[in-house]
């Protein structure tokens, strides 16, 4: 049997703490790290731009030894004739089907590495997954952790295997990404992590909800693509409970989708709501032209940066589903189009939480955008950063510019509010 191992990389694009990669290197003479660009999974320009930067960085860190191909994973893997295929376990529906197809080609060895506590590793008595966060958090906090792996560097590809050229965005048929999006790669991810541990972790508790502060880690895109190991982040941040709790939310969403694969399309808890169809209102929301400054600021941040502050995600999502009565699936799809960290599990679980069809024990909760804005953007700095029409207004008016009257609003070039609050 061939002693060649293919390490099929998916959303684990790093050299640090990589159980599948480390185990393959320990056990095989020939190791082929492989990434397959599959058109069915490519996604939007923002995520693909980040992915291409990440692959270039990973290739450099591996001393050039990263094979990149376009096609279907099973077919590319088969053409490399491995004795074994190493993967980081993926519990999404596509990942499970892919693993099944790989089993017909070679021995498949699946490893942890995508979550801190893998889906299914902790379960409640009498159930296959946790439906409410707090009991999950308690079980998760007590779960056993594996040891961190030592980093892998500079591999050599077997003779006759060409690494392949990385395509450009245009070659993949994609347009321009958001100008202010984060830069991809493990190197950048580790820089962001180190900066957060040094300057951000201690003040995270008090600044994480302040819209204008850079008070959160900014790690979500790097966790989404596995440029940093979630376990390594949790170990490094141990003691920062408020932050570690957020990492636990990520695992909570992953185990939710593993147990309920239709999370991205079907209500987790059906509520028989009749959604409104209103293309104009939906377009205004997408474009950041609802006339509610804090909502518009969030939606414009998303478009400009491919990222949005968590508090803004909550209140823009709540505005769409609870005030405009528009189906959460449309909001989910728009976020998916632009978010660099866009992840089916986290995106859908959070949309459903906000819509009241998910795991929120208070499904009728509504975020009042004005109260939220006054509390989390008291000086109006966040609104002013993303809504230049309101740049000159003082903190009293910036969140409720309609108080100035229709004529003044028209002079500012800013729309009146879409709905009364
Ligand atoms: C409607 C909606 C959609 C969302 N869609 C996504 C998504 O597609 N991808 C995504 O990673 N996050 C999503 N989130 C969660 C959250 O907003 C982002 O993870 C967070 O804003 C990322 O910024 P950060 O890395 O600075 O977060 P930090 O506050 O520094 O948190 C650290 C990490 O914890 C995880 N995390 C934090 N909050 C959550 C949460 N509520 N659910 C799941 N994981 C969390 C993320 O991996 C994050 O990087 C969504 C939230 C809402 C309300």
Our mutation pick for probing the ligand 1 site, out of 211, 243, 246, 329, counting the most ligand atoms within 8 A of Cβ, is: 246
Task: Name the phi and psi angles at 100, rounded to 5.
Answer: -60, -45
For the chain, give the mean pLDDT: 96
| Nearest residue by C-alpha to atom 38 in ligand 1 | 246
Domains and CATH numbers, the chain: 4-114 (3.40.50.620), 119-147+186-259 (1.25.40.80), 279-412 (1.10.579.10)
Q: Which residue has the tokens 């790690």?
A: 219
Question: Is 227 touching ligand 1 by the criterion CB < 6 Å?
Answer: no
- SS3 readout for 79-107: HCCCCEEEEECCCCHHHHHHHHHHHCCCE
Closest CA to 50 of 182, 247, 226, 198: 182
In which band, very low, low, confident or very high, does the pLDDT at 271 lie, cut at 50, 70 and 90? confident
d(CA 346, ligand 1 centre) in Å: 7
Q: How far apart are the first and last CA of the chain?
A: 69
Distance between CA atoms of residues 212 and 201, nearest Å:
17
pLDDT (average), residues 378-406: 96
Distance between CA atoms of residues 133 and 120, nearest Å:
15
Our mutation pick for probing the ligand 1 site, out of 350, 353, 358, counting the most ligand atoms within 8 A of Cβ, is: 350
Note the pTM of the prediction, 2 decimals.
0.98
d(CA 220, ligand 1 centre) in Å: 6
Instruction: Work out the number of other CB atoms within 10 angstroms of the CB of residue 346.
Output: 21
Residue 43 clears pLDDT 90, i.e. is over it: no
Q: What share of the chain is helix, strand, coil (3-state, %, to 5)?
A: 45, 5, 45
Q: Which ligand 1 atom is nearest residue 313's CA? A: 53
Question: Is 246 touching ligand 1 by the criterion CB < 6 Å?
Answer: yes
Question: Is 250 touching ligand 1 by the criterion CB < 6 Å?
Answer: yes
pLDDT of the residue at 378: 97
Cβ–Cβ under 8 Å, residues 39 and 11: no
Enumerate the H helices of 260-323 as residue ranges: 279-287, 293-305, 310-318
Cβ–Cβ under 8 Å, residues 263 and 257: yes
Distance between CA atoms of residues 320 and 325, nearest Å:
6
DSSP state of 326: B
pLDDT (average), residues 366-386: 97
pLDDT of the residue at 120: 96
Q: How big is the CA angle at 312 (ends 310 and 314), to the nearest 5 degrees?
A: 70
pLDDT of the residue at 33: 98
Q: For 313-344, what is each residue's pLDDT tens digit?
A: 999 999 999 999 999 999 999 999 999 999 99
Q: For 84-103, what is each residue's pLDDT tens digit?
A: 999 999 988 999 999 999 99
Task: Name the phi and psi angles at 285, rounded to 5.
Answer: -65, -50
pLDDT of the residue at 1: 58
In which band, very low, low, confident or very high, does the pLDDT at 132 lie, cut at 50, 70 and 90? very high
For the chain, how many residues are written?
A: 421
Cα 37 to Cα 14, 63, 69, 132, distances in angstroms? 17, 20, 6, 36
Distance between CA atoms of residues 56 and 262, nearest Å:
33
Residue 2 clears pLDDT 80, i.e. is over it: no
In the chain, % of residues over pLDDT 90: 96
Question: Is 114 touching ligand 1 by the criterion CB < 6 Å?
Answer: no
Q: Is the dihedral of CA 233, 235, 240, 243 positive or negative?
A: positive
Residue 377 clears pLDDT 90, i.e. is over it: yes
pLDDT (average), residues 177-205: 98
Residue 262 clears pLDDT 80, i.e. is over it: yes
Enumerate the H helices of 290-402 as residue ranges: 293-305, 310-318, 328-338, 344-355, 369-376, 381-386, 395-398
Q: For 64-77, what is each residue's pLDDT tens digit?
A: 999 999 999 999 99
Residue 5 clears pLDDT 90, i.e. is over it: yes
In which band, very low, low, confident or very high, does the pLDDT at 383 lie, cut at 50, 70 and 90? very high
Which helix (DSSP H) or strand (DSSP E) does residue 253 occupy? helix 241-259
d(CA 164, ligand 1 centre) in Å: 34
pLDDT (average), residues 372-392: 97
Distance between CA atoms of residues 412 and 421, nearest Å:
21
In which band, very low, low, confident or very high, does the pLDDT at 239 lie, cut at 50, 70 and 90? very high
pLDDT of the residue at 396: 87
């Amino acid at each position: 049997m061939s002693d060649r191992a293919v390490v099929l990389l998916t959303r684990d694009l790093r050299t640090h703490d990589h159980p599948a990669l480390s185990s393959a290197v320990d056990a095989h003479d020939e190791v082929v790290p492989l990434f397959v660009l599959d058109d069915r999974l490519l996604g939007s320009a923002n995520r693909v731009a980040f992915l291409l930067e990440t692959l270039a960085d990973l290739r450099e860190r591996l001393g050039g030894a990263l094979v990149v191909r376009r096609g279907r994973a099973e077919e590319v893997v088969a053409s490399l004739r491995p004795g074994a295929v190493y993967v980081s376990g993926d519990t999404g529906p596509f990942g499970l089907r892919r693993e099944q197809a790989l089993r017909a080609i070679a021995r498949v060895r699946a490893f942890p590495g995508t979550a801190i506590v893998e889906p299914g590793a902790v379960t409640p008595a009498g159930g296959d997954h946790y439906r409410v966060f707090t009991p999950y958090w308690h079980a998760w906090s007590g779960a056993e952790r594996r040891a961190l792996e030592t980093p892998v560097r500079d591999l050599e590809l077997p003779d006759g295997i060409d690494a392949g050229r990385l395509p450009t965005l245009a070659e993949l048929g994609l347009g321009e990404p958001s100008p202010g999006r984060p830069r991809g790669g493990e190197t950048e991810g580790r820089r962001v992590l180190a900066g957060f541990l040094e300057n951000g972790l201690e003040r995270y508790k008090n600044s994480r909800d302040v819209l204008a502060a850079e008070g959160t880690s900014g790690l979500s895109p790097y966790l989404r693509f596995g440029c940093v190991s979630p376990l390594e982040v949790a170990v490094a941040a141990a003691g920062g409970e408020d932050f570690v709790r957020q990492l636990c939310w990520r695992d909570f969403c992953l185990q939710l989708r593993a147990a309920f694969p239709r999370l991205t399309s079907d209500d987790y808890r059906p509520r028989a709501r009749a959604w409104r169809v209103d293309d104009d209102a939906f377009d205004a929301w997408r474009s950041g032209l609802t006339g509610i400054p804090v909502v518009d600021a969030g939606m414009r941040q998303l478009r400009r940066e491919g990222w949005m502050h968590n508090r803004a995600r909550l209140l823009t999502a709540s505005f769409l589903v609870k005030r405009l009565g528009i189906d959460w699936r449309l909001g989910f799809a728009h976020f998916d189009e632009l978010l660099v960290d866009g992840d089916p599990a986290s995106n859908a679980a959070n949309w459903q939480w906000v819509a009241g069809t998910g795991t929120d024990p208070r499904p009728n909760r509504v975020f009042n955008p004005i109260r939220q804005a006054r509390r989390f953007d008291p000086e109006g700095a966040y609104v002013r950063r993303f809504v230049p029409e309101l740049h000159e207004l003082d903190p009293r008016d910036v969140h409720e510019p309609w108080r100035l009257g229709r004529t003044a609003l028209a002079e500012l070039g800013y729309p009146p509010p879409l709905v009364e609050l």
